[in-house]
Amino acid sequence: MTMAVEMEVCLRLPTRVLYQGMARKLFAVAENGAFGMMPNHIDFVSSLVPSVLILTLADGSEQIFGIDEGILVKKGHQVDIAIRRGVRGEDLGSLQESVRSNFVEVDEDERVARSALSRLEAGMVRRFADLQRPKP
């Protein structure tokens, strides 16, 4: 592997790409703690926890993301990150509000869907129980 000053980072959500581009540094949080990565870092795979992901670009600016759980795979100078949910922020203050509004909204939608699924499952169980009863 050649020495590089940048790595290509792709941050993917289930339905779209949140970020794709070059970065000089990456900061993330795994289950066993925070870590930083540069382009010539050893290849590895890590499970990410809900946290802040920071990319330092070639011009020195930073891209800040609030992420949910996910997985990071680094191979060569390519870093692929798949996350369940994520938002981009301008700064940590605005990121906190974006995470709160987006993630809480999704959590409420998931709660409603789980409730509807539970009602459907209960209805199926009742119908199967009715089928097993002897008919008079």
Ordered structural domains, the chain, with CATH? 7-90 (2.60.15.10)
Distance CA 125, CA 128 (A): 5
| Choice between 123 and 106, residue whose per-residue pLDDT is larger | 123
Q: Give the model's pLDDT for residue 88.
A: 86
Q: What is the largest CA-CA distance in the chain?
A: 81
Instruction: Please say if the pLDDT value at position 94 is more than 90.
Output: no
Q: What is the pLDDT of residues 23-42, one digit of tens each?
A: 999 999 999 999 999 999 99
Lookup: tokens for 106: 């999704």
Count of CB atoms within 10 A of residue 25's CB? 16
Lookup: tokens for 29: 């949080």
What is the SS3 assignment for 15? coil
Count of CB atoms within 10 A of residue 57's CB? 15
Confidence of residue 103 (pLDDT cuts 50, 70, 90): low
Task: Give me the sign of the Cα torsion angle 27, 12, 45, 71.
Answer: positive
| Choice between 73 and 117, residue whose per-residue pLDDT is larger | 73
